[in-house]
Chains A and B, each alone.
Chain A
Amino acid sequence: MALFQRIEARVDAGIGRRRLGYALLALIVVYFLWFPNDTTQSNYAKTVFISGFFYAIMSSSWALLAGIAGQFSFGHMAFMGIGAYVAGLAARDGFAFLTPESVSSVGAIFIGTIVAGLVGLVIGWLLLRLRSAYLALFTIAFSELFRIVMLTEYDYTGGSNGLSLRPLLQIADVDTARQVEYYLMFALLIVCLLALYWVANSPVGLFLRAMREDEDAASALGVNVVRYKILVFVFTSMIVGLAGGIFYSDIGSERIIPEQLEILQMSLIIAYAVIGGMESLIGAAAGAFIARYLLEATREVVITLPFGLTMADGADAFVWEPGAWRYALFGLVMVLTLRFMRNGLLYPIITWFSGRDIVMKETVAKRESDEDHAARLEVGDE
């Protein structure tokens, strides 16, 4: 009886933590909604946040694909690029039977999103029957191929000078425009996160987790493994295609360049997800946002010694620029995270608020007690 009471109390505590977590999440959302109205913040700060929202979408969608479904793809930036480039080209040159005049900015982004999904479908259909490293290797090759095509087909894509997308918004006042852009990108992040959560917490999400843990066992239990792999691949491709189309329509940047699709940029998306927590969508999104913010905030950090005094010629007495080392430091954090906190730096916090640690402990305790019981039966103690 005492045991049951203890369990009950701890579950209650878990529920309490969950409520606290929801309250905290609500506070964060309120803060983000209020942020553009903070008159002490410049448009630059909003730009940094807009960029953070974009990378949060990239990172959380990759977390669904790799962390939850176990499909380790390096093609995420390429699909984002497909969404952006197709949107830009559709608005400039038209698409299929549509003339440029008949393609609106929103229509162009829609076309880009659909094409990203279709390419994801073809690649998924070709490839997702294969296992383990093949997907990673193929998507690396696909990304590079796409980047090189965008670079060399300069007559259409603008090559290394990039492709300027038709602006999504036409607001003359700079401050108002930035405010609207901020809310648009934030809304996109919320919608994408809700969609990702819906998939992750639906029966499909259970199938994806089952496939990740043991593909053969999931298949034996009746899960159509290939179908669900393709489904999640197409779904995440469309999400990043949409994000790319919107972000590069002068919301976060006025042009996309092939260098944005380099494997280095993809590795940053992976790093954000790893640091935030690959198995947690919100962790990956928060990891990306925080990492982007910190990388930007530490960009120009300069420490001047002694006491900030300067020489007569304007040169600093002793200058140390740790900002120049920020990517190296970021890499170090990622290495340490992978070694000591494989679920990411934010995952333990999210787990604590969700109360899942209690459930996990109870499950482990129950399993151990069952095992002890079985062992005792085997040696004839009872």
Chain B
Amino acid sequence: MKHRCAFIVTIALITMLTLVPLGMVSADGHCEFADYTITLGGLAPMSAPGAVAGGVAMDWAFKQAAADINADCGVQIDGVNYMLEVITGDSEGSPERGQAVAERLILEDEVDGMVGVYHSAVGLATMGIMEENAIPTIFSEPWNDNVSANGIIEFDGAAPRFDDGIDHIFRISPASSMVGSVVTDWLIALGVEDVVLIVENTDYGQPAAADEQARLEAAGVTVSQIDVELGTEDFVPILSRIQASAEPPDAIRIVVTGETSFNLTQQMAELGIAPTPDTICVTNQIAFQHVQYWATVPDGNYCAFNRVGIIPSLFNDTAIELNAAYEAEFGDIVPSFGMASYDAVFMMVDAMERAGSYSDAAAIVDAIEASDILLSQGRYYFTYGSHNPDLPEGTPTFMWHQWPDPIVTVMQYFEQGQSSLEAAVVYPEVYQTHGTAYVVPGTSP
């Protein structure tokens, strides 16, 4: 009897284990899928020394995009539905590993297209591999101008590696040169007369500061610059120098990235240097991640920051849904590179559907060039490509296969603990949400 019971229980367990997944297939199985699964490779930094937090958000966005597409009957080509899978490859933020992973995705996993990439160095190193293997690619985060300009042809006088240039690479993140001017334009519009730039001593900070300084000085603004090292914890000695000056500056602009910018902003606010009615505080764009910001910078109310990517007031239905899913998963607002990675998958699928093929690289590239699609960050299109190859004089070469409309704005918190979804967009005027170019500390818009 005992043996019989054990036998029945075993059979029941095996049956359940076998039927549960099958049952799920039939429950959601409103689409007939072809045997072939279309695969995209997603490059993202999932381990050190790469920016892991960025990689995790991108990986989530790839998977979310694939899930949403599959829930809507997958990729539809010539009346056939194909399941979509995005395989994330860990670039570790290293060109060498990025190249190896890109090769694995292309040669072993045989992906039909590539999306993603966070670090510019990985983008620059891997684009040659995508080009060699004719893999249509949409980069969603690297900023270096060369990614969409001359690509890896960097050596004057040396033979280019590809006779036909970089044909298969597209970018929907901004090029560095597109980001630069918005904060300085805003400060000049506000009429500031003297600005202190606190600048990280890196290849991001120094050129960005040099560019801003040139713009401000050209407008007659007095600029002084203080350099800091990334990872510094104690900024009181530096800030004391500002405090000791006879007149407080009109604005302090922090050209420092990551956690270091949080420490600096908090110490500046604690010392009563900025934000004050006399001095404007402009901190790093990472302040948009409000949960992190308020946890580390509780005194940072009224600080402004630049935002690269669509602003909350312009969120369309896709962005709202995507943001809700991201918030449910991570408890924070979806970052711009998460949105761009999500959009890159949809753009690739849209191009495959219009090209009528998942494997004809030339047709897919043509279709991406002709993209006109509304996704979470707005309407995507490409002005310059093989469909319009002649860049007018004065148009920078990075505009080749470059989405021309990434939004760059200045936002400002005006309530303690405020969500960045509710923060004021103060500049440019066309995007202003609260009818003001600046919220003076202690007031409300």
Whether the Cβ atoms of B25 and A311 lie closer than 8 Å is yes
Closest Cβ of chain B to A163, distance in Å, is 9
Enumerate chain A residues within 8 angstroms of B204, measured Cβ to Cβ: 159-160
Whether the Cβ atoms of B121 and A166 lie closer than 8 Å is no
Whether the Cβ atoms of A254 and B67 lie closer than 8 Å is no
Among B155-163, B291-299, B347-355, the one that faces the other chain is B155-163
Among B82-90, B270-278, B402-410, the one that faces the other chain is B82-90
Closest Cβ of chain B to A286, distance in Å, is 20
Q: Contacts A152-B206, A300-B89 hold; do A44 and B103 have CB atoms under 8 A apart?
A: yes
Whether the Cβ atoms of A327 and B21 lie closer than 8 Å is no
> From residue 126 to 180 of chain B, which have CB atoms closer than 8 A to chain A?
128, 132-133, 144, 146, 152, 154-155, 157-159, 161
A164 to B99, CA, bound (A): 14
A309 to B26, CA, bound (A): 13
Among A114-122, A223-231, A256-264, A338-346, the one that faces the other chain is A256-264
Whether the Cβ atoms of A257 and B21 lie closer than 8 Å is no
A264 to B46, CA, bound (A): 16
A253's nearest neighbour on chain B, judged by CB, is B96
Provide a sorted-by-A list of 8 A–B residue pairs whose CB atoms are within 8 angstroms: A44-B106, A51-B100, A152-B206, A160-B120, A161-B146, A257-B121, A264-B49, A313-B67
Kindly state whether residue B125 has any CB partner on chain A within 8 Å.
Answer: yes
> From residue 70 to 85 of chain B, which have CB atoms closer than 8 A to chain A?
70-71, 83-85
Whether the Cβ atoms of B203 and A152 lie closer than 8 Å is yes
Out of A51, A254, A260, A265, which one reaches B128, CB within 8 Å? A254
Enumerate chain A residues within 8 angstroms of B101, measured Cβ to Cβ: 299
Whether the Cβ atoms of A254 and B95 lie closer than 8 Å is yes
Which 10 A-B pairs rank lowest in CB-CB distance, beginning with the nearest?
A159-B203, A154-B203, A253-B96, A312-B28, A42-B107, A309-B21, A44-B103, A314-B70, A312-B25, A162-B121
> From residue 257 to 311 of chain A, which have CB atoms closer than 8 A to chain B?
257, 259-260, 262, 264-265, 296, 299-300, 306-307, 309-311
Out of A161, A300, A313, which one reaches B121, CB within 8 Å? A161
Kindly state whether residue B104 has any CB partner on chain A within 8 Å.
Answer: yes
Q: How many residues of A contact B (CB 8 A)?
A: 49
Q: Beta-carbon contacts of A148-173 to B below 8 Å, as 1s and 0s? A: 00011010001111101011001000
Q: Contacts A164-B152, A253-B125 hold; do A309 and B93 have CB atoms under 8 A apart?
A: no
Whether the Cβ atoms of A152 and B95 lie closer than 8 Å is no
Kindly state whether residue A48 has any CB partner on chain B within 8 Å.
Answer: yes
A256 to B124, CA, bound (A): 11
Out of A151, A299, A306, which one reaches B203, CB within 8 Å? A151
A54's nearest neighbour on chain B, judged by CB, is B96
Enumerate chain A residues within 8 angstroms of B158, measured Cβ to Cβ: 166-167
Whether the Cβ atoms of A314 and B108 lie closer than 8 Å is no
Enumerate chain A residues within 8 angstroms of B341, measured Cβ to Cβ: none
Interface centre among A44, A166, A315 (most CB of B within 10 A): A44
A317 to B21, CA, bound (A): 7
Q: Beta-carbon contacts of B3-23 to A below 8 Å, as 1s and 0s? A: 000000000000001101110
Kindly state whether residue A252 has any CB partner on chain B within 8 Å.
Answer: yes
Whether the Cβ atoms of B85 and A160 lie closer than 8 Å is no
Closest Cβ of chain B to A106, distance in Å, is 14
Q: Contacts A166-B155, A259-B49, A296-B100 hold; do A314 and B66 have CB atoms under 8 A apart?
A: yes
Q: Contacts A164-B124, A164-B154 hold; do A312 and B26 have CB atoms under 8 A apart?
A: yes
Whether the Cβ atoms of A327 and B96 lie closer than 8 Å is no
A314's nearest neighbour on chain B, judged by CB, is B70
Whether the Cβ atoms of A259 and B94 lie closer than 8 Å is yes
Interface centre among A254, A299, A324 (most CB of B within 10 A): A254
> From residue 159 to 210 of chain A, which have CB atoms closer than 8 A to chain B?
159-162, 164, 166-167, 170, 174
Q: How many residues of B contact A (CB 8 A)?
A: 60
Kindly state whether residue B29 has any CB partner on chain A within 8 Å.
Answer: yes
A153's nearest neighbour on chain B, judged by CB, is B203
Kindly state whether residue A356 has any CB partner on chain B within 8 Å.
Answer: no
Enumerate chain A residues within 8 angstroms of B85, measured Cβ to Cβ: 314
Enumerate chain B residues within 8 angstroms of A259, measured Cβ to Cβ: 49, 93-94
Whether the Cβ atoms of B49 and A262 lie closer than 8 Å is yes
Kindly state whether residue A47 has any CB partner on chain B within 8 Å.
Answer: yes
Whether the Cβ atoms of B108 and A154 lie closer than 8 Å is no
Kindly state whether residue B232 has any CB partner on chain A within 8 Å.
Answer: no
Whether the Cβ atoms of A311 and B24 lie closer than 8 Å is yes
Kindly state whether residue B416 has any CB partner on chain A within 8 Å.
Answer: no
Kindly state whether residue A76 has any CB partner on chain B within 8 Å.
Answer: no
Kindly state whether residue B47 has any CB partner on chain A within 8 Å.
Answer: yes
Q: Contacts A254-B128, A312-B27, A314-B85 hold; do A160 and B95 have CB atoms under 8 A apart?
A: no
Interface centre among A161, A259, A309, A317 (most CB of B within 10 A): A161
A372 to B190, CA, bound (A): 94
Out of A47, A91, A151, which one reaches B99, CB within 8 Å? A47
Q: 11 additional contacts, CB 8 Å, given A164-B154, A310-B25, A315-B67?
A: A159-B202, A159-B203, A159-B204, A161-B124, A161-B146, A162-B95, A162-B125, A259-B49, A307-B21, A311-B25, A313-B28
Closest Cβ of chain A to B171, distance in Å, is 15
Whether the Cβ atoms of B46 and A255 lie closer than 8 Å is no
A92 to B133, CA, bound (A): 28
Whether the Cβ atoms of B48 and A160 lie closer than 8 Å is no
Whether the Cβ atoms of B108 and A42 lie closer than 8 Å is yes
Kindly state whether residue B435 has any CB partner on chain A within 8 Å.
Answer: no
Whether the Cβ atoms of B120 and A161 lie closer than 8 Å is yes
A101 to B155, CA, bound (A): 11
Kindly state whether residue B207 has any CB partner on chain A within 8 Å.
Answer: yes
B146's nearest neighbour on chain A, judged by CB, is A161
Kindly state whether residue B201 has any CB partner on chain A within 8 Å.
Answer: yes
B84's nearest neighbour on chain A, judged by CB, is A314
Whether the Cβ atoms of A160 and B202 lie closer than 8 Å is yes
Closest Cβ of chain B to A54, distance in Å, is 9
Q: Contacts A161-B124, A254-B125 hold; do A314 and B83 have CB atoms under 8 A apart?
A: yes
A152 to B200, CA, bound (A): 10
Kindly state whether residue A43 has any CB partner on chain B within 8 Å.
Answer: yes
> From residue 71 to 130 of chain A, which have CB atoms closer than 8 A to chain B?
91-92, 100-101
Enumerate chain A residues within 8 angstroms of B71, measured Cβ to Cβ: 313
Enumerate chain B residues within 8 angstroms of A252, measured Cβ to Cβ: 96
Closest Cβ of chain B to A298, distance in Å, is 11
A317 to B120, CA, bound (A): 35
Whether the Cβ atoms of B207 and A154 lie closer than 8 Å is yes
Enumerate chain B residues within 8 angstroms of A48, measured Cβ to Cβ: 100
Closest Cβ of chain B to A306, distance in Å, is 5
Enumerate chain A residues within 8 angstroms of B161, measured Cβ to Cβ: 167
A164 to B161, CA, bound (A): 13
Enumerate chain B residues within 8 angstroms of A300, measured Cβ to Cβ: 87, 89-90, 104
Out of B66, B83, B203, which one reaches A160, CB within 8 Å? B203
Enumerate chain A residues within 8 angstroms of B107, measured Cβ to Cβ: 42-44
Q: Beta-carbon contacts of A311-350 to B below 8 Å, as 1s and 0s? A: 1111101000000100100000000000000000000000
